Amino acid sequence: MYTYKIEQATKAAALLHQDQLRKGEVALPYITHLVGVTMILRDYTDDEDTLVAALLHDTIEDTDYTLEELKADFGEKAALYVDTVSEHWYEGENKLPWLEVKKNYA
């Protein structure tokens, strides 16, 4: 399934993360992670909002793009999904370790 909304989310993700690289042996453009997550979810669902959220799942944490902007651009459902998987921490607080964050999702 490839829709206009998914195409727009792909473009937004590529633009918002354009200066980011993946950590690892080969520094791949960050968009590869977002597309990879989307491909995994595509094996389980063709729900457009889920796939849009997969593409945009790191935007709130890693860019200046706000949840309100995401909601206006891609709808309330996609924004809710992104908000649900985003780490919420506040200035002055330490981020939780990666494994602890993932356990909280389970």
Model-wide pTM > 0.95: no
**Rounded distance between C-alpha atoms, residue 17 and residue 21, angstroms:** 8
| pLDDT attached to residue 98 | 54
Q: Which domain holds residue 58?
A: 4-105
Per-residue pLDDT of the chain (106 residues; tens, 9 = 90+): 789 999 999 999 999 999 999 988 888 999 999 999 999 999 999 999 999 999 999 999 899 999 999 999 999 999 999 999 887 655 555 555 656 655 555 4
**Rounded distance between C-alpha atoms, residue 15 and residue 19, angstroms:** 8
Tally of structural domains, the chain:
1
Phi-psi region of 100 (alpha: psi -120 to 50; beta: other; left: phi over 0): alpha
| pLDDT attached to residue 92 | 53
Active site residues: 61-62
Q: Which CATH number fits the domain that encloses residue 81?
A: 1.10.3210.10
**Rounded distance between C-alpha atoms, residue 33 and residue 100, angstroms:** 21
